[in-house]
Amino acid sequence: MNVLVINAGSSSLKYQLINVEHHQVLAKGICERVGAADAFHKHGIDENEIVIDVPMNNHTEAVRLALQSILEGPNKAIDSLDEIDAIGHRVVQGGKYFDRSVLIDDEVIARIEELKELAPLHNEAALMGIRACQALMPDKPMVAVFDTSYFQTLQPKAYMYPLPYELYEKYAIRKYGAHGTSHRYIAERAAAFLDEPIDELKLITCHLGNGCSVSAIDHGVAIDTSMGLTPLDGLMMGTRSGSIDPAIVTFVMEHENLSPQEMNNLLNKKSGLLGISGVSNDLRSVRIASEEGNERAMLAYHMYSNSVKKYIGQYIAVMGGVDAVVLTAGVGENDQKMRRMIFSGMQPLGIVLDEARNREHGFERDIATNSSLVRIIIIPTNEEYMIARDTFDIVHG
Ligand code: ADP
């Protein structure tokens, strides 16, 4: 079964055509700066990628271009649209309504629309992707896969904020989490890698990319996660602050005369690694600058590792131990130095990184010493495959 996976952002549209049974990516690409004069479209796998500057006014035109590149030209993957069996859409916010992926119908669309208030840019983008596919391929079954649904197993003690209860009743303000598809994938893969049933394991999964989150997966059930009502909460990230003293928000708004929107922008786009280092939101650039003696970059690098360390400690306490810490995404998969800093000094907790294994490259791997009581596992994430697989499962009933 071939599934077209669509991940629509407010000004971008990523896609992959995946054959689920063979676990094979047949085509992939991204349309960027959709709606802007300098829009472009990249299509192709790895070194075969081609970049085309091409105008696209909206997401429907972006999907049309994607389909054109899948069906024609140097990187064509299939001969006709009939070879696409179903479409899977990534949707950021599923609120309390969706604890799993679902077949998209009018009611589901209405719910995603209703949840826009909790994730204004993200859910609107997903709706644009869904409507574009409906317009161009009205007969294909479509499935929505939510970033939040994996965390619907959290208990109220984990998802409630200590605010007046009425705010929860009035606005549904609570922790929803994000990156759920990635945490679900790496938790499953880690259990398979360890050759143990997931319901016998205590896992801490760390998605460390531009966006960062950590989750506690207790015997196969997500019991806590660092992202909150929105993906701003928790760890320090590329440009997002993560958790800070909430009093800072009103202090800065008052003293800098900022509107709510400007404050939101400061916390989401100007903070994190970028805000502290003044160099970049990209951890590679921050590391290079810190190695060249830039003190703010060094501080940013240390704050980042400390932020991950603290969440690992919290979740060990919450679960009463841990069998494996699982790392994924750009930083988790690649940055040896960051991994060394995160796990430094954790020997008393039974977590011992093997320096030589940490330096090796590879696919799924264990980088703890043989005698470490806790495994440290690297699993490259694959959210697109997870979306394709959910789509396959639901369409097949
Ligand atoms: P996104 O959340 O945008 O999907 P990624 O998973 O691609 O993010 O992660 C981006 C982050 O990963 C950046 O901070 C980048 O510096 C870091 N990164 C990517 N490759 C490497 C590498 N080889 N070494 C160190 N850091 C890396």
Residue 60 lies in a domain: yes
Shared domain for 141 and 200, answered yes or no, is no
* Tens digit of each residue's pLDDT (9 = 90 or more) over 339-388: 999 999 999 999 999 999 999 998 999 999 999 999 999 999 999 999 99
SS3 116: helix
Confidence (pLDDT) at 35: 87
CA of 320 to the centre of ligand 1 (A): 31
Residue 74 lies in a domain: yes
* Tens digit of each residue's pLDDT (9 = 90 or more) over 202-222: 999 999 998 999 999 999 999
* CA separation for the pair 279, 273 (Å, rounded): 8
Based on the residue annotation, tell me whether 147 is a catalytic residue of this protein: yes
* Tens digit of each residue's pLDDT (9 = 90 or more) over 284-339: 999 999 999 999 999 999 999 999 999 999 999 999 999 999 999 999 999 999 99
Three-state DSSP string of 295-356: HHHHHHHHHHHHHHHHHHHHHHHHHCCCCEEEEEHHHHHHCHHHHHHHHCCCHHHCCCECHH
Residue 388 lies in a domain: no
Probe residue for ligand 1, chosen from 30, 183, 283, 339 as the CB with the greatest number of ligand atoms within 8 Å: 283
Q: Output 243 or 11, whichever has higher pLDDT.
A: 243
Distances (CA, A) of 3 to 44, 64, 290, 357, 392: 17, 16, 43, 36, 7
State the DSSP code for 368.
B
Question: Taking the alpha carbons of 277, 280, 284, 285 in that order, is the dihedral positive or negative?
Answer: negative
CA of 102 to the centre of ligand 1 (A): 30
Task: Please enumerate, as own/partner, the contacts of 35-42 that have beta carbons within 8 Å and a separation of 24 or more.
Answer: 35/11, 36/11, 41/65, 41/66, 41/69
What single-letter amino acid sits at 55? P
Shared domain for 146 and 201, answered yes or no, is no
Task: Please name the residue ranges forming H helices in the chain.
Answer: 59-71, 106-114, 120-136, 156-159, 165-171, 180-194, 247-256, 260-269, 272-277, 283-291, 295-319, 329-334, 336-343, 355-359, 383-395
* CA separation for the pair 189, 135 (Å, rounded): 36
Q: Which two tokens stand for residue 193?
A: 């890698």
- Residues facing residue 50 across a β-bridge: 43
Residue closest via CA to ligand 1's atom 13 equals 282
Residue closest via CA to ligand 1's atom 4 equals 209
What single-letter amino acid sits at 330? G
- Of 38-42, 84-88, 248-252, 298-302, minimum mean pLDDT range: 38-42
CA of 283 to the centre of ligand 1 (A): 7
Probe residue for ligand 1, chosen from 210, 268, 382 as the CB with the greatest number of ligand atoms within 8 Å: 210
* CA separation for the pair 397, 394 (Å, rounded): 5
Confidence (pLDDT) at 50: 92
CA of 297 to the centre of ligand 1 (A): 16
Q: What is the CATH number of the domain that holds 238?
A: 3.30.420.40
Is 0.75 topped by the overall pTM? yes
CA of 216 to the centre of ligand 1 (A): 22
Q: Express the helix, strand and coil content of the chain in percent, nearest 5 each.
A: 45, 20, 35
Q: How far is CA 17 from the centre of its chain?
A: 19
Confidence of residue 9 (pLDDT cuts 50, 70, 90): confident
Confidence (pLDDT) at 122: 82
Residue closest via CA to ligand 1's atom 7 equals 330
Residues with CB under 6 A from ligand 1: 209-211, 238, 282-284, 329-331, 334-335
Q: In terms of Cα–Cα distance, which of 153, 99, 93 is closest to 125?
A: 93
Confidence (pLDDT) at 268: 93
Residue 392 lies in a domain: no
Residue 68 structural domain: 2-150
- In ligand 1, the atom with minimum distance to the C-alpha of 238 is 14
Shared domain for 207 and 321, answered yes or no, is yes
Confidence (pLDDT) at 89: 98
* Tens digit of each residue's pLDDT (9 = 90 or more) over 93-132: 999 999 999 999 999 999 999 998 887 778 888 999 999 9
* CA separation for the pair 31, 43 (Å, rounded): 8
What single-letter amino acid sits at 51? V
- CB within 8 Å of 23: residues ≥ 6 apart: 385
Shared domain for 141 and 206, answered yes or no, is no
CA of 253 to the centre of ligand 1 (A): 31
SS3 219: coil
Residue 165 lies in a domain: no
Residue 80 lies in a domain: yes
Shared domain for 291 and 345, answered yes or no, is yes
Phi and psi of 57, rounded to 5°?
-80, -25
* CA separation for the pair 327, 304 (Å, rounded): 15
Shared domain for 24 and 96, answered yes or no, is yes
CA of 394 to the centre of ligand 1 (A): 32
Count the domains in the chain.
2
Q: Which two tokens stand for residue 279?
A: 């160099």
Confidence (pLDDT) at 241: 97
Residue closest via CA to ligand 1's atom 3 equals 210
Question: Taking the alpha carbons of 130, 131, 134, 136 in that order, is the dihedral positive or negative?
Answer: negative
Shared domain for 204 and 316, answered yes or no, is yes
Residue closest via CA to ligand 1's atom 25 equals 335
Residue closest via CA to ligand 1's atom 19 equals 330
Active-site position among 139, 147, 354, 393: 147
* Tens digit of each residue's pLDDT (9 = 90 or more) over 162-214: 999 999 999 999 999 999 999 999 999 999 999 999 999 999 999 999 899 99
Q: Is the confidence at residue 397, as pLDDT, over 90? A: no
Residue 54 lies in a domain: yes
Mean pLDDT, residues 42-56: 91
Side-chain-facing half-sphere of 278: CA atoms under 13 Å: 4
Confidence (pLDDT) at 11: 85
Shared domain for 22 and 126, answered yes or no, is yes
Residue 62 lies in a domain: yes
Mean pLDDT, residues 258-281: 96
* CA separation for the pair 226, 212 (Å, rounded): 9
Shared domain for 10 and 143, answered yes or no, is yes
Q: Which two tokens stand for residue 199?
A: 């319901």
Shared domain for 199 and 319, answered yes or no, is yes
Residue closest via CA to ligand 1's atom 20 equals 330
SS3 365: strand
% of the chain exceeding 70 in pLDDT:
100
Probe residue for ligand 1, chosen from 335, 361, 379 as the CB with the greatest number of ligand atoms within 8 Å: 335
Shared domain for 227 and 91, answered yes or no, is no
User: Roughly what angle, to the nearest 10 degrees, separates helices 336-343 and 283-291?
Assistant: 80
* CA separation for the pair 351, 126 (Å, rounded): 40
Shared domain for 207 and 96, answered yes or no, is no
